[in-house]
Amino acid sequence: MAGFSPSMPIRRDGDNGFALTQSMIEVIRQNLRNLVLTNPGERMMIPDFGVGIKRFLFEMDHASTYGTINSTIESQVSQYMPFVKLIDVQFDSDSQANPGALYIKIIYEIQPLELTDGIELTVEAQA
């Protein structure tokens, strides 16, 4: 079956050689996830691309930190994914299961398709 782009993380698939995204919604979800997880300077030829969410892991658990993260996500999405309208960004760092992790839920609208979708990310320091 044909697809739009390689599904991330890249993995083998018996039909196509590699697993592929099967809808535009999957492509946009994957691109938004990559935008949030990429560190500025990490993408070749686009040094300001990326939120760099991991750099906020050791910041204070405070509303001002979440405001900085939220504004960074908003500016990156408006610059690199202008067809996406952010509806809500929610944070949770009080999980008992992994107290050093940051949980983020991003709700957004894909404006040309008039669809609402969301992603959930768990960001934690690598051991």
Report pLDDT digits (tens) over 59-83: 877 888 899 999 999 999 999 999 9
Does any domain span residue 41?
A: yes
How far apart CA 36 and CA 51 sit, in angstroms, is 5
Does any domain span residue 10?
A: no
Domain enclosing residue 53, as ranges: 29-123
83 DSSP assignment: T
Does any domain span residue 57?
A: yes
How far apart CA 116 and CA 106 sit, in angstroms, is 11
Total tally of structural domains belonging to the chain: 1
Does any domain span residue 98?
A: yes
Contact at 8 Å (CB) between 20 and 3? Answer: yes
Does any domain span residue 21?
A: no
* pLDDT level of residue 16 (50, 70, 90 thresholds): low
Does any domain span residue 117?
A: yes
Read off the amino acid at residue 7: S
- Domain containing residue 111: CATH number: 3.10.450.40
pTM: 0.84
